[in-house]
């Protein structure tokens, strides 16, 4: 992995996105329906693309919005559709397009009053609150965001009445219908002007902020944070939660300072990420360099990505905490400080997250459920309370209320950052110190992700691997314990391979956006052992490619 010389520094003016160019291209560029790269494509987090590449334009949003309206009608979803947007430049035009289509289809559409921004977890929370106790008239939601992606990108995701990311059955249906509309030149799209939509009976506004903020006491011990006087630095990173932190601080009496309240669609205030791109990745020490420089000003500091579904925790003596490490700390704390949860509530993790989480789960007497990548796999467990916590290696997680009921079924960066302050207030030690105590008992993991080249044929093969296609019975000097192409927690295909040994493992998955496959690896021995695992992982996967002739 080559680190850009710009990494960790403010971007030069020459690399900032042209906002007029982006928005103009949204309206003027037409996607080529014969180019698969310009069709609607729902990945693990909705459809993403750029207007400059013909992959996120008005035609896409018209088609997707119409497809969602038709899906709702076909499934008898008649309650409100809660619609949120983040601060990316393409989110506002896409929001307007979507509202025009939803209103024309008679969908009860609920948006933030005053035209403000709404985080992903707030939409999930609103859906669950509306649906609580209902069996009919259920609501669902749309969030217009490409998450932490660069400023040039746009994104659009649908959350069904479960409140979390839509499962493949839903996204496949919406994607197929949207592309059918796209290829027909927009046939079947119903649309009003934006001004007419806002005046229609279908669209209403509400304040999403107050209901979410007022309910935070049901999931966090905010009184403990206030009593402790913990000083907090919160960096919205120009994202959709920019209006939330001051309200939270005022409502609960927290000693919290908003580090940077600026909203700028070029994100010129960000530090450049490792690869020379502007990316609002709160798990990256390069993107978070500005906040890390302020680490000694606060007892604890944190940042969130643009739609506030991810978290990054900064502590005085070491800077940014590794995402896997903080998830392990959160699991240990929650399962020893939430007596209202079911005694058999499990820990949920993605199969590329650290095995330290498995070890922590065993140490607190809980089952660890390992699922494929994608937060959708945690939705059912969080809804019924059988899973107390669900977390991803990419710094995304959610957990239950104190009484063991669902709070959100999508990732929530707000509660994970405030949890870090709760841990400090209650335990008297910040999460970094808690991590040291855990690893002293359970072992120190060495974890890394690298990329390897893979064209479309290799990526297709990797997605459909079977365990017997992988040769070898030793991994970095240890007997292989398992070769997995389905997640042990739910039996769902992982779209790749995971190989485990006693003190290490690797997983290989194709990228959804680049001609590479990703190798995640971890060792509980040392960095040299980790490098051996990575080398042998590449050899094993390349061997599969060679035997298949691709």
Cβ 26 vs Cβ 57: under 8 Å: yes
Predicted pLDDT at 95: 98
- Cα separation of 87 and 243, whole Å? 12
Band (pLDDT 50/70/90 cuts) for residue 513 is low
Band (pLDDT 50/70/90 cuts) for residue 5 is very high
In this structure, what token pair is assigned to residue 236? 């919205």
Is residue 403 packed enough to be buried (19+ CB in 10 Å), middle (13-18) or exposed (0-12)?
A: exposed
Cβ 222 vs Cβ 252: under 8 Å: yes
pLDDT top residue among 454 and 327: 327
User: Is position 147 annotated as part of the catalytic site?
Assistant: yes
Predicted pLDDT at 45: 72
Q: State pLDDT tens for residues 370-418.
A: 999 999 999 999 999 999 999 999 999 999 999 999 999 999 999 999 9
CA 545 to chain centre: 31
Q: Are strands 300-304 and 231-235 parallel, antiparallel or unpaired?
A: parallel
In this structure, what token pair is assigned to residue 97? 């397009």
- Cα separation of 169 and 523, whole Å? 36
Domains of the chain (ranges; CATH) run: 15-206 (3.40.120.10), 212-442 (3.40.120.10), 446-548 (3.30.310.50)
Predicted pLDDT at 511: 82
Secondary structure (DSSP) of 432-469: HHHHHHHHHHH---EEEEEEEE--HHHHHHHHT--GGG
- Cα separation of 290 and 8, whole Å? 8
Secondary structure (DSSP) of 380-434: HHHHHTSEEEEEETTTEEEE--TTS--S-SS--HHHHHHHHHHHHHHHSS-HHHH
Q: Averaged over 309-315, what is the pLDDT?
A: 97
Least confident of 195-204, 324-333, 444-453, 519-528: 444-453
Cβ 295 vs Cβ 301: under 8 Å: yes
φ, ψ of residue 548 in degrees (nearest 5): -90, -10
The answer to whether residue 362 scores a pLDDT higher than 70 is: yes
- Cα separation of 165 and 307, whole Å? 14
Q: Please tell me whether the overall predicted TM-score, pTM, comes out greater than 0.95 for this model.
A: yes
Tokens 């925790």: give the residue.
Answer: 313
Band (pLDDT 50/70/90 cuts) for residue 77 is very high
Of the residues 50, 55, 147, 240, only one is catalytic, namely 147
- Cα separation of 233 and 301, whole Å? 4
Q: Averaged over 202-207, what is the pLDDT?
A: 98
Q: Averaged over 499-515, what is the pLDDT?
A: 90
Beta strands in 152-310 (DSSP E): 153-159, 203-206, 231-235, 255-258, 300-304
Q: Averaged over 167-181, what is the pLDDT?
A: 96
In this structure, what token pair is assigned to residue 321? 């905490």
φ, ψ of residue 48 in degrees (nearest 5): -135, 155
Tokens 């913990």: give the residue.
Answer: 230
Mark residue 133 as left, alpha or beta (left: phi above 0; alpha: psi -120 to 50; beta: remaining).
left
Predicted pLDDT at 451: 87
In this structure, what token pair is assigned to residue 133? 């106790």
- Cα separation of 351 and 357, whole Å? 11
Band (pLDDT 50/70/90 cuts) for residue 118 is very high
- Cα separation of 250 and 25, whole Å? 41
pLDDT top residue among 26 and 294: 26
Q: Are strands 368-371 and 346-350 parallel, antiparallel or unpaired?
A: parallel
Q: If you average pLDDT over every residue of the chain, what do you get?
A: 96
- Cα separation of 322 and 508, whole Å? 21
The answer to whether residue 43 scores a pLDDT higher than 90 is: no
Residue percentage of the chain with pLDDT more than 90: 94
């Amino acid at each position: 992995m080559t680190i850009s010389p710009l990494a960790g520094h403010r971007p030069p003016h020459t690399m900032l996105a042209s906002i007029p160019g982006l928005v103009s291209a949204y309206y003027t560029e037409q996607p080529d329906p014969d180019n698969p790269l310009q069709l609607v494509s729902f990945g693990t987090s909705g459809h993403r693309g750029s207007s400059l590449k013909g992959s996120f334009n008005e035609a896409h949003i018209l088609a997707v919005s119409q497809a969602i309206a038709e899906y709702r009608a076909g499934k008898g979803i008649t309650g409100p559709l809660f619609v949120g947007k983040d601060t990316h430049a393409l989110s506002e035009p896409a929001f307007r397009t979507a509202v025009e289509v939803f209103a024309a289809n008679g969908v009860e559409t609920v948006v933030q009053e005053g035209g403000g921004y709404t985080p992903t977890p707030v939409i999930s929370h609103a859906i669950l609150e509306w649906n609580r106790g209902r069996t009919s008239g259920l609501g669902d939601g749309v969030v217009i965001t490409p998450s932490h992606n660069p400023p040039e990108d746009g994104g659009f995701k649908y959350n069904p009445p479960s409140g979390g990311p839509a499962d493949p059955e839903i996204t496949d249906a919406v994607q197929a219908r949207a592309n059918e509309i796209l290829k027909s030149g927009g046939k079947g799209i119903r649309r009003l002007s934006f001004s007419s939509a806002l005046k229609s009976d279908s669209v209403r506004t509400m304040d999403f902020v107050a209901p979410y903020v007022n309910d935070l006491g049901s999931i966090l011990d905010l009184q403990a944070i206030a009593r402790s006087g913990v000083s907090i630095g919160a960096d919205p990173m120009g994202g959709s939660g920019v209006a939330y932190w001051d309200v939270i601080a005022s409502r609960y009496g927290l000693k919290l300072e908003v580090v940077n309240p600026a909203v700028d669609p070029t994100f010129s205030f960000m530090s450049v990420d490792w690869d020379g791109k502007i990316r609002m990745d709160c798990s990256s020490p390069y993107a978070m360099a500005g906040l890390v420089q302020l680490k000694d000003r606060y007892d604890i500091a944190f940042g969130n990505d643009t739609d506030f579904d991810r978290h990054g925790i900064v502590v005085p003596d070491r800077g940014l905490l590794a995402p896997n490490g903080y998830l392990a700390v959160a699991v240990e704390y929650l399962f020893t400080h939430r007596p209202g949860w079911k005694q058999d509530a499990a820990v949920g993790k993605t199969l590329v997250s650290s095995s330290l989480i498995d070890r922590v789960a065993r140490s607190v007497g809980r089952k660890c459920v390992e699922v494929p990548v994608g937060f959708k796999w945690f939705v059912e467990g969080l809804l019924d309370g059988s899973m107390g916590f669900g977390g991803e290696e990419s710094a995304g997680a959610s957990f239950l209320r104190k009484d063991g009921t669902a709070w959100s079924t999508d990732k929530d960066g707000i509660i994970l950052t405030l949890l870090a302050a709760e841990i400090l207030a209650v335990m008297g030690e910040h999460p970094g110190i808690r991590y040291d105590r855990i690893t002293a008992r359970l072992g120190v993991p060495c974890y890394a992700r690298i990329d390897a080249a893979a064209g479309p044929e290799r990526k297709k093969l990797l997605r459909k691997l079977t365990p017997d296609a992988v040769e070898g019975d030793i991994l970095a000097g240890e007997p292989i314990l398992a070769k997995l192409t389905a997640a042990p927690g739910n039996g769902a295909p992982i779209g790749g391979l995971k190989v485990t040994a006693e003190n290490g493992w690797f997983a290989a998955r194709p990228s959804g956006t680049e001609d590479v496959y990703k190798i995640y690896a971890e060792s509980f021995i040392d960095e040299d052992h980790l490098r051996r695992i990575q080398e042998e992982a590449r050899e094993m996967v390349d061997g599969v490619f060679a035997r298949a002739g691709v």
